[in-house]
Amino acid sequence: MQRILVTGGAGFIGCNFVHYIMGHSRLHVTVLDKLTYAGNRASLAGLPPERFEFVKGDICDAALVEKLTGQVDAVVHFAAESHNDNSLEEPRPFVDTNLVGTFTLIEAARKHGTRFHHISTDEVYGDLALDDPARFTEGSVYRPTSPYSATKAGSDLLVRAWVRSFGLRATISNCSNNYGPYQHVEKFIPRQITNLLDGIRPRLYGEGRNVRDWIHVEDHSSAVAAILERGRIGETYLIGADGELSNRSVVEKLLVQVGQSPDAYDLVTDRPGHDLRYAIDSGKLRRELGWTPRYGDFDAGLAATVRWYRDNEAWWRPKKAETEHKYAGQGH
Ligand code: NAD
Ligand code: DAU
């Protein structure tokens, strides 16, 4: 493999993956990204120009997608509308990008016989009860609950059907909640960090009891690289790092790290249909591909993330006011 196409490479996980893969291989990377509100060209600064190309464009643009797919050995597909709260306000872009965009890409990959890796989410499996010891596995039933997760579930099923019906050389990964540098300030952890930096109290939806299974974004990148290299065609791999925490405990940790009282947060209007708990069993990925996460210590990863936002205000500041304005309109 010499050349890859990364869709959504100007977004949070996509840009971290591009930095990771270019630092750990000699691959040439082309990024295709529409630069929606969530994309930021600055997140791709400093990459070696002889091995990197940026194309601004839409994954629903069949002619462009077909041309770019024909030039590479593999496609790694991150591009998506990714935020649940937005999907509850305006679902249409989720249907277009997550469903039609994925369809457009797999049709091009089918035509050219290109290896395809589809990035997805644990949310396709719905949620688990707070007191249930169960975790999601590759065999869990699809039960998405939000417009976002329903369109991601649909995109996974399209990829599975293209493998079975057309022999598409594809793999799928479903990962849990990522944190780390370059994450948009609409998401939970960066929102609270930047609120604290601005002297605003963190905001917890409902009572803050919902549980997410946190993984550092670099561990997600190393898992995707392992699947791209050694994953079995047609297989799904769940990616997670045993990082289950309630939202309340994450906020308490953040408050302590910045020297404030752990109860200095506000409870705000809950998200409609708010999934209770996600939890990943990543045993298959670890056993088959020998992958292990490197960021085992969540507190240390969180502290490094706080430092990154403190040191990179120029990156997030332009998005902060409009994001908070939108949340105010939703009662969050
Ligand atoms: P993000 O919102 O930060 O970035 C998405 C990127 O896709 C942006 O750069 C945006 O400009 C681009 N994009 C959107 N629509 C496009 C289109 N039509 N054509 C081309 N580019 C387009 O998202 P993220 O958090 O980095 O998530 C990336 C992928 O990982 C998504 O597929 C998401 O479902 C999945 N995922 C995310 C998480 C998480 O915790 N954030 C966890 C598991 C899986
Ligand atoms: O599980 C993987 C998914 O994780 C990805 O597929 C999604 O793309 C990604 O956005 C994320 O979805 P969540 O809805 O879990 O992430 P979010 O950052 O929006 O919220 C995390 C939790 O924090 C959730 O329970 C809602 C809560 N929350 C969120 C915000 C923004 C708050 O309590 N307060 C907030 O201000």
Active site residue 122: yes
Q: Give residue ranges with CB within 6 A of ligand 2.
A: 82-84, 121-123, 176-177, 187-188, 191, 203-205, 210, 212, 247, 271, 278, 332
Tell me the CA distances in angstroms from 229 to 23, 26, 205, 292, one per residue in order: 15, 13, 39, 15
Res 186: pLDDT: 98
Q: Which of 33, 58, 81, 123 is catalytic?
A: 123
This prediction has a pTM of 0.99
Helix (H) or strand (E) holding 281: none
Q: What angle do CA 281, 284, 289 make, to 5 degrees?
A: 130
Give 133 Cα–ligand 2 centroid separation in angstroms.
21
**DSSP 8-state assignment for residue 93:** H
Q: Which of 33, 107, 122, 186 is catalytic?
A: 122
- Blockwise average pLDDT, block size 10, the chain, 332 residues: 98 99 98 98 98 98 98 99 98 98 99 98 98 96 98 98 98 98 98 98 98 98 98 98 98 98 98 98 98 96 98 98 96 94
User: Which residues lie closer than 8 Å to 292 by C-beta, 6 or more apart?
Assistant: 286
Bridge partners, 213 (sequence order): 244
Bridge partners, 120 (sequence order): 174
Nearest to 156, CA basis, from 143, 139, 173, 141: 173
Helix H segments across the chain? 12-24, 62-69, 84-89, 92-94, 102-112, 147-166, 188-197, 217-230, 247-257, 283-289, 298-311, 313-329
Res 118: pLDDT: 99
